[in-house]
């Protein structure tokens, strides 16, 4: 194990950025999101959750797939190059990493998404254990331990310094490359990490959503949940915006579109939201025609369809971003609780 | 040191002209052998009021360096009042563009009647000179449209 | 609050209304959701009205007007402007609504509380509508914190339009005029910048946009059945944020489409997940309209013509307006 004094953090970031691309949480115009490090960038590691989840680094909101050019009556097609440079995703949290594992199930299964795979292969994840979990967090419900993120390198906040522990080969390689700025750590730090973990886990136990029950939600729940009258009551405040899907670390739906550049076409894909009226629009029209159906789709997908297709793995990680950001204060927790109440009432 | 013709900045100008007055004014300018730069591309619209703010933004997106809207003089609209509405809309839109940092000179409204070939030609010459001095539009351009 | 619940129960019981549109208590101290109530028991158990009930229910009355029977809707003073505007545009049915104008003491912004470093919130005292607390006492996982009520208020409440309801069937509760700032101060600050500074400011704010459409969907003035940005026949990519242009296009057009109709209710800025000050676009249009065509407050009445659907012969020319400082 190693450590880095908080005051030396800029040195560490500089050392990483000197060798590869570095993404980290940065506060821009009052909001913290992941951004590329450039000279003078200050990391914001105190904000627990970035507004947008870090899935952007592996599955960007918009990415070009290929470009068609028209010149002298000839068409040329230029595929977009796959990610070839290594990069570091710095400061991810345990829930966000679980989110990436959900995306892996989708994009790394056959047929493999080559754009995503290239990013996954070239990315090294440096995680930070959640020093101060918040009331909107419920990662424990989905089996995530925010005191021990599953990453290439894990960091813990020890007050004056961060502990730095390489876990995987990739993590070791990164550690070796910046060893000049890291200090080696010993038993005292090991102990400090253990107490930090105990402190985190004690807070997690006190979080209001920690004991949320997922009883009744699994891959076989379609029959009991799909036609429930609860949805009809629940969806009403939904404004049909895409906030929940765009801040979510696991929402993976996208749309593919063409942009007319005037001298050709750029084909790109961008995140789509099942809350939108034109989601999965096909020649015959749309298969979900009411907002209730769209609303139901999102939660059924996360809690029923996804586990049905992925060995019981839920595609919610309990990060709580939708809890924080929904303009109408709807969220997955309210949905789960409403069904629980329904079951009790019956 | 010499600047070749290819390197010289030639602005792209979109001129929305109403069918009844300004387009005819442009026609008159042509038949009177008055000149104006070929950088001006005219788009004929049924009335100045037809011009949606999105048309203006779209023109900038696709690479225009300046956009001008020409219609009948107030009071002379073929549809009686269309240009009055256009006038209010453009007043607000141009003010908004100025507010987000697009130089005010890049947008213009001019009332040109069918008899004003001279005014049409003069206006376009002036506008092209203005845009040439302002240089390329980089603030509203969509980078994907660059060659 | 009990007064409000009691009145709603009476109106349900005597058949004046068949449902109540209000706020349902959330599962955290600050997240009540807009909701319908159809029984006295439900109202008694789950109705809430406190400082966190910022949502403008006028928007929900567009759908509410299509339901069978009359709906009781609770509107704060500023919400009534939106309702009037919707009547003017024939988007709500006045006869289907029973409006109780309720008191408002300024609504709270949970983002502002969190921005002060108050995290792990378990309980909040002082946000109740009854009582006159000028401080919020917040119990958190990390100890008890306090914050002055004013410091936690939504931006829109600092430029409050006043205590008067523009439309109502009856009034209930006291309001406080919380105005302590000039509505156009920020717009004027930007107007005074150089083009480079203006551009840099908006570029920085709009680059955060995630195209979630929350600002559009929450807006009571954005009531089109099919938005131009949702049209599959429209050639712009509404969901992409591939290039900064898309955001500028979206935000200028969004604001333009509500120009002259926007009541400045502030919902767009309240809901933006990225905290973009969207009201700065709307207020620029409002300020210009006031300056060019005379003072106008959308929603102050239900029948006057809007500034973009009327004109005068002597209107100011576009060439004159934009370049002024």
Query: First and final CA of chain B: distance in angstroms?
Result: 27
Selection from C55, C49, C46 nearest residue C78 by Cα: C55
Same domain, A140 and A254: no
Which chain A residue has the Cα nearest residue B144?
A: A261
pLDDT at A177 over 90: yes
What are the distances in angstroms from CA B18 to CA B31, B46, B70? 18, 6, 6
Q: What is the mean pLDDT of residues B69-92?
A: 95
- Tell me how far apart the alpha carbons of residues B122 and A294 are, in angstroms, rounded to a whole number: 57
Domain map of chain C by residue range?
Answer: 2-172, 185-321
Q: Is residue B101 assigned to a domain?
A: yes
Q: State whether C211 and A242 contact (CB < 8 Å).
A: yes
The rounded distance, in Å, linking the Cα atoms of B116 and B114 is 6
Percent of chain C exceeding pLDDT 70 equals: 94
- pLDDT of A257 reads 87
Residues of B with CB under 8 A from a CB of A: 62-63, 144-145, 147
Inspect the interface and report whether the beta carbons of B84 and C311 lie closer than 8 Å. Answer: yes
Identify all chain C residues contacting A241, using CB atoms and an 8 Å cutoff.
Answer: 212-214, 216-218, 271
Q: Which residues of C touch A61 (CB under 8 A)?
A: 210-211, 240-241
Provide the shortest C-alpha distance from residue B84 to chain C (in Å).
Answer: 6
Chain B closest-CA separation from residue C198 CA (Å): 5
Which residues in chain C are closer than 8 Å to B53, comparing Cβ atoms? Answer: 252-253, 256
Domain ranges, residue B22: 9-140
pLDDT tens, residue by residue, A197-226: 999 999 999 999 999 999 999 999 999 999
Residue A82 lies in a domain: yes
> Given 3-state DSSP classes, what are the helix, strand and coil percentages for chain C, each rounded to the nearest 5?
35, 15, 50
The DSSP secondary structure of B21-87, one letter per residue, reads THHHHHHHHHHTT----TTEEEEEES-GGG--HHHHHHHHHTT-SEEEEEEPPTT-BTTBSHHHHHH
The stretch A129-148 carries a mean pLDDT of: 96
pLDDT above 70: residue C237 = no
The candidate with the shortest Cα–Cα distance to C52, out of C89, C26, C72, C83, is C26
Taking the CA of residue A108 as centre, how many other CA atoms within 13 Å lie in the half-sphere pointing to its CB?
13
Structure-derived torsion over alpha carbons of residues C45, C50, C54, C57, reported in degrees to the nearest 10: 40
Q: Mean of the pLDDT values across residues A100-122?
A: 96
| Confidence check: pLDDT of A333 > 70 | yes
Return mean pLDDT, chain C: 92
Number of domains within chain B = 1
**pLDDT 10s digits, C98-152:** 999 999 999 999 999 999 999 999 999 999 888 777 899 999 999 999 999 999 9
What is the C-alpha separation between A139 and A318, in angstroms, rounded? 4
Please list every residue in chain C whose beta carbon sits closer than 8 Å to the beta carbon of residue B61: 245, 249
| Closest chain C CA to residue A275 | C212
Asked whether residue B61 is domain-assigned, the answer is yes
Q: Is the pLDDT of residue C324 over 50?
A: no
Which residues, 6+ apart, have CB-to-CB distance to C62 below 8 Å? C86, C91, C92, C220, C223
- pLDDT surpassing 80 at residue A283: yes
The whole-number average pLDDT for the span A331-339 is 94
What's the confidence (pLDDT) of residue C238?
Answer: 62
Q: What range does the domain containing A318 cover? A: 222-345
Does B145 reside within a domain? no
Tens-place pLDDT, residues C211-222: 999 999 999 999
Q: Is the model's pLDDT at C323 over the cut of 50?
A: no
| Pairwise CA distance, residues B38 & C91, whole Å | 48
Confidence tier at B6 by pLDDT (50, 70, 90): low
Nearest residue to A90 via CA among A31, A22, A15: A22
pLDDT greater than 70 at residue C244: no
From C150's Cα to the closest Cα of chain B, the distance in A is 30
pLDDT computed for residue C310 by the predictor: 94
Q: Is the pLDDT of residue A259 over 90?
A: no
C126-137 b/e with 16+ CB inside 10 Å = b?
bbebeeeeeebe
H or E element at residue C289 = helix C279-293
Q: Is A47 on the interface with B (CB under 8 A)?
A: no
Label residue C227 by pLDDT band (50, 70, 90). confident
Cβ neighbours around A290 below 10 Å, total: 11
Contact C263, C80 (CB under 8 A): no
**The predicted structure's pLDDT at residue C233:** 72
> Which chains does A contact via 3+ CB–CB distances below 8 A?
B, C
In this complex, is the C-beta atom of A246 within 8 Å of any C-beta atom belonging to chain C?
A: yes
CB contact (8 A) between residue C322 and residue B74: no
Q: A65, A262, A270: best mutation site toward chain B, by most B Cβ within 10 Å?
A: A262
**pLDDT mean across residues, chain A:** 94
By CA distance, what is A337's nearest residue in C? C27
Q: What residues 240-259 of chain A have any CB closer than 8 A to a CB of chain B?
A: 259
Q: Which residues of B touch C189 (CB under 8 A)?
A: none
Q: Please check the confidence at residue B59 and state whether its pLDDT lies above 50.
A: yes
A202 and A234 housed in the same domain: no
Spell out the long-range contacts of C311-318 with Cβ–Cβ below 8 A and sequence spacing 24 or more.
C311/B81, C311/B84, C311/B85, C311/B87, C311/B88, C313/B74, C313/B75, C313/B84, C315/B84, C315/B87, C315/B88, C315/B91, C316/B91, C316/C292, C317/B87, C317/B91, C317/B109, C318/B87, C318/B90, C318/B91, C318/B94, C318/B107, C318/B108, C318/B109
Interface of A with C in 179-218 (CB under 8 A): 203, 206-208
* pLDDT score recorded for residue C242: 60
A123 φψ region: left (φ > 0), alpha (ψ -120 to 50), beta (else): beta
DSSP result, C82-108: HHHHHHHTT-S-GGGEEEEEE--S--B
Min Cα separation B37/chain C (Å) = 22
pLDDT interval class at A136 (50, 70, 90): very high
CATH code of residue B104: 3.40.50
Per residue in A140-171, pLDDT (tens digit) is 999 999 999 999 999 999 999 999 999 999 99
- pLDDT at B4 exceeding the cut of 70: no
User: Which residues in chain C have their CB less than 8 angstroms from residue B70's CB?
Assistant: none
Q: Is A268 within 8 Å of chain C by CB?
A: yes
pLDDT of residue C178: 93
Q: Which of A145, A87, A139, A158 is nearest to A118 (CA)?
A: A87
Whether residue A70 lies inside any domain: the answer is: yes
* Mean pLDDT of the A9-20 span: 95
Residues B101, C256: C-beta atoms closer than 8 Å? no
pLDDT for position A94: 97
Sign of CA dihedral A324, A329, A331, A337: positive
In total, how many domains does chain A have? Answer: 2
SS3 call for A240: coil
- Write out chain C residues lying below 8 Å of A320, CB-based: none
Would you tell me how many other CB atoms lie within 10 Å of the CB of residue C245? 21
Which of A156, A182, A206 marks a domain boundary? A206
pLDDT of residue C94: 95
pTM summary value: 0.93
The predicted-structure confidence for A43-66, as pLDDT tens digits, reads as follows: 999 999 999 999 999 999 999 999
Across residues A254-273, what is the average pLDDT?
A: 90
Residue in chain C closest to A258 (alpha carbons) equals C237
Beta strands C97-102 and A87-92 are unpaired
pLDDT > 90: percent of chain A: 88
- Give the helix, strand, coil percentages of chain A, each rounded to 5: 35, 20, 40
pLDDT per residue as tens digits for the range C163-201:
999 999 999 999 999 999 999 999 999 999 999 999 999
In this predicted model, what pLDDT tens digit does every residue of C284-298 receive, in sequence order?
A: 999 999 999 999 999
Residue C237 to residue A257, Cβ atoms within 8 A: yes
Q: For residue B50, tell me if it sits in a domain.
A: yes
Say if B2 falls within a structural domain.
no
β-sheet with C135-140: strand ranges across: C121-125, C135-140, C143-148
Q: Is the Cβ pair B85, C311 closer than 8 Å?
A: yes
């Amino acid at each position: 194990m190693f450590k880095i004094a908080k005051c030396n953090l800029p040195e560490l970031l500089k050392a990483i950025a000197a060798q590869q691309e570095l993404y980290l949480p940065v506060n821009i115009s009052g909001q913290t999101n992941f951004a590329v490090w450039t000279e003078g960038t200050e990391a914001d590691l105190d904000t627990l959750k970035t507004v947008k989840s870090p899935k952007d680094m592996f599955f960007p909101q918009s990415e070009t797939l290929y470009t068609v050019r028209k010149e002298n009556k000839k068409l040329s097609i230029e595929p977009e190059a796959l990610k070839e440079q290594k990069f570091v995703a710095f400061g991810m949290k345990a829930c966000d990493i679980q989110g990436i594992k959900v995306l892996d199930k989708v994009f790394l299964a056959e047929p493999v998404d080559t754009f995503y795979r290239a990013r996954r292969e070239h990315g090294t994840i440096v995680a930070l254990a959640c020093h101060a979990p918040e009331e909107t967090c419920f990662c424990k419900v989905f089996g995530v331990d925010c005191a021990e993120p599953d990453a290439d390198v894990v960091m813990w906040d020890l007050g004056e310094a961060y502990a730095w522990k390489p876990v995987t080969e990739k993590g070791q390689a990164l550690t070796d490359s910046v060893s000049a700025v890291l200090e080696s750590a010993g038993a005292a730090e090991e102990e400090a990490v253990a107490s930090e973990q105990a402190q985190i886990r004690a807070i997690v136990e006190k979080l209001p959503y920690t004991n949320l029950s997922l009883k009744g939600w699994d891959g076989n729940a379609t029959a009991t949940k799909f036609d429930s009258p609860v949805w009809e009551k629940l969806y009403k405040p939904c404004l049909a915006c895409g906030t929940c899907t765009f801040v979510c670390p696991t929402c993976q739906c996208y749309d593919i579109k063409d942009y007319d550049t005037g001298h050709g076409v750029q084909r790109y894909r961008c995140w789509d939201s099942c809350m939108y009226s034109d989601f999965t629009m096909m020649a015959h029209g749309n298969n979900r025609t009411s907002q209730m159906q769209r609303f139901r789709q999102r939660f059924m997908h996360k809690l029923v369809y996804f586990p049905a297709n992925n060995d019981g793995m839920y595609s919610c990680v309990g990060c709580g971003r939708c809890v924080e950001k929904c303009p109408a204060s709807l969220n997955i927790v309210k949905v789960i609780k409403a069904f629980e109440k329904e079951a009790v009432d019956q | 040191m010499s600047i070749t013709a290819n390197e010289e900045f030639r602005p792209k100008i979109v001129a929305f002209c109403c069918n009844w007055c300004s387009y005819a004014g442009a026609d008159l300018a042509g038949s009177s052998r008055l000149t104006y730069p070929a950088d001006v591309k005219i788009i004929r619209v049924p009335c100045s009021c037809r011009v949606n703010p999105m048309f203006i933004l779209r023109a900038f997106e696709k690479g225009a360096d300046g956009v001008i809207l020409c219609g009948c003089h107030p009071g002379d609209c073929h549809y009686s009042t269309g240009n009055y509405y256009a006038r209010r809309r453009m007043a607000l839109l141009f003010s908004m563009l100025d507010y987000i940092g697009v130089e005010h000179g890049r947008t213009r409204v001019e009332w040109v009647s069918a008899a004003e070939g001279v005014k049409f030609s003069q206006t376009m010459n002036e506008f092209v000179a203005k845009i040439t001095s302002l240089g390329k539009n980089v603030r509203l351009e969509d980078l994907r449209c660059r060659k | 609050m009990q007064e409000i619940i009691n009145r709603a129960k009476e109106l349900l019981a005597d058949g004046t209304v068949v449902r109540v549109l209000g706020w349902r208590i959330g599962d955290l101290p600050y997240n009540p959701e807009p909701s319908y109530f159809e029984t006295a028991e439900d109202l008694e158990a789950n109705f809430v009205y406190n400082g966190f009930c910022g949502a403008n229910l006028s928007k929900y009355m567009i759908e509410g007007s299509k339901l069978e029977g009359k709906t009781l809707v609770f509107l704060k003073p500023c919400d009534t402007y939106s309702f009037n505007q919707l009547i003017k545009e024939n988007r709500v049915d006045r006869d289907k609504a029973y409006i109780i104008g309720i008191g408002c003491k300024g609504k709270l912004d949970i983002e502002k509380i969190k921005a002060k470093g108050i995290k792990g919130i378990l309980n909040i005292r002082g946000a109740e509508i009854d009582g006159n607390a000028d401080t919020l006492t917040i119990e958190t996982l990390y100890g008890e914190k306090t914050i002055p009520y004013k410091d936690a208020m939504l931006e829109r409440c600092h430029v409050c339009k006043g205590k008067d309801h523009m439309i109502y069937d009856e009034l209930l509760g006291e309001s406080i005029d919380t105005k302590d700032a000039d509505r156009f101060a920020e717009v004027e600050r930007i107007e005074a910048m150089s083009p480079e500074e203006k551009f840099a400011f908006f570029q920085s704010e709009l680059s955060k946009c995630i195209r979630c459409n929350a600002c559009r969907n929450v807006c009571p003035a954005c009531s089109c059945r099919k938005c131009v940005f949702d049209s599959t026949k429209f050639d712009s990519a509404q969901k992409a944020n591939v290039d900064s242009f898309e955001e500028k296009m979206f935000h200028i057009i969004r604001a333009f489409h509500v120009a002259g109709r926007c009541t400045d209710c502030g919902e767009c800025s309240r809901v933006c997940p990225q905290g973009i000050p969207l009201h700065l676009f709307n207020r620029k249009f409002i300020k210009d309209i006031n300056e060019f065509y005379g003072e106008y407050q959308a929603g102050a009445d239900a029948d006057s013509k809007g500034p973009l659907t009327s004109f005068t012969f002597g209107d100011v020319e576009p060439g004159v307006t934009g370049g002024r400082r």
